[in-house]
């Protein structure tokens, strides 16, 4: 396939040179450059000013967080991201940084941000070094707790359920603690019920396992 594409490009260039000379070749190069630049701009969040720039400081470029305390947004389901932004805006979910930002967004901007981060490929949490024993304990807890029933195969998330695989350890632990202690609620009530059964050590182990779990990239 690559050889056919290359031959096609060579043929186009040859025709342009034969018919239009150097000007035709320059035009072809310009068109190719514009198309490539447009694709790159779209991948980076569109034309300036980019709405996604407000997210980079905490969540990293293209949603790849480099901080264990901030969630990675890349590869999160769009419906989940949109729902969380609306919860921050309404005060249903409390956060001193996210609340004012979410309140400033229109419905269209929420959809734009959610769609943008959802299409980014997730990456492994390479900066986290898990404790082997805690990771093993966490894996058993995840299996026995049926995490995949809601969060999907490989715990990659879907629809209203977030991707857990490869998230920041500190963020995961903070959310598990918040669910267990009543500081955060979910619409189904499932997370509150599950987290309430976990000891402090269990939550630490589960966070270790999830943070070290490589995301499945399809």
What is the full DSSP assignment across 167-194? --HHHHHHHHHHHHHTS---TTSHHHHH
Q: Which helix (H) or strand (E) holds 11?
A: helix 2-20
Q: Are 76 and 118 in contact (CB under 8 A)?
A: yes
pLDDT of 197 reads 94
- Strand-pairing partners, residue 161, are 158
Task: For residue 158, report the phi and psi dihedrals to the nearest 5 degrees.
Answer: -170, 145
Question: For the residues 84-95, what does the mean pLDDT come to?
Answer: 95
Q: Are 117 and 63 in contact (CB under 8 A)?
A: yes
Please state, in angstroms and as integers, the Cα–Cα distance from residue 67 to each residue in 87, 128, 144, 166, following that order.
23, 9, 29, 12
Q: pLDDT, tens digit, for every residue of 26-74?
A: 554 555 544 443 444 454 555 546 889 999 999 999 999 999 999 999 9
Which range among 25-34, 145-154, 195-204 shows the weakest confidence by mean pLDDT?
Answer: 25-34
Please state, in angstroms and as integers, the Cα–Cα distance from residue 163 to each residue in 123, 125, 151, 212, 213, following that order.
11, 13, 7, 13, 11
Residue in the block written with tokens 């920041």: 168
Residue ranges covered by each domain of the chain: 2-43, 53-212
Which range among 6-15, 33-42, 181-190 shows the weakest confidence by mean pLDDT?
Answer: 33-42
The CATH label, of 3.40.50.12780, 3.30.365.10, 1.10.760.10, 2.40.110.10, for the domain at 53-212 is 1.10.760.10
pLDDT of 33 reads 41
**Rounded to 5°, angle at Cα 139 from 137 and 143:** 120
Q: Are 86 and 110 in contact (CB under 8 A)?
A: yes
Cα(126)–Cα(136) distance, integer angstroms? 18
Query: What's the 3-state SS for 12-36?
Result: HHHHHHHHHCHHHHHHHHHHHHHHH
């Amino acid at each position: 396939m690559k050889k056919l594409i290359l031959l096609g490009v060579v043929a186009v260039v040859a025709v342009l040179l034969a018919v239009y000379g150097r000007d035709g070749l320059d035009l072809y190069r310009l068109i190719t450059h514009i198309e490539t630049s447009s694709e790159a701009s779209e991948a980076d969040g569109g034309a300036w000013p980019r709405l996604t720039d407000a997210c980079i400081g905490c969540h990293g470029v293209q949603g790849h967080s480099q901080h264990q305390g901030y969630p990675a947004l890349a590869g999160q389901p769009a419906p989940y991201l949109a729902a969380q932004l609306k919860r921050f805006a309404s005060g249903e979910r409390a956060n001193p940084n996210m609340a004012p930002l979410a309140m400033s967004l229109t419905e269209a901007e929420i959809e734009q941000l959610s769609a943008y981060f959802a299409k980014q490929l997730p990456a492994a949490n390479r900066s986290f070094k898990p404790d082997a024993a805690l990771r093993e304990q966490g894996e058993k807890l995840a299996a026995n707790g049926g995490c995949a029933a809601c969060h999907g195969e490989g715990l990659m998330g879907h629809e209203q359920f977030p991707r857990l695989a490869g998230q920041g350890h500190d963020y995961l632990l903070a959310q598990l603690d918040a669910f267990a202690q009543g500081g955060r609620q979910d619409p189904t009530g499932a997370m509150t019920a599950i987290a309430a059964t976990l000891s402090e050590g269990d939550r630490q182990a589960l966070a270790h396992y999830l943070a070290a779990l490589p995301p499945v990239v399809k």
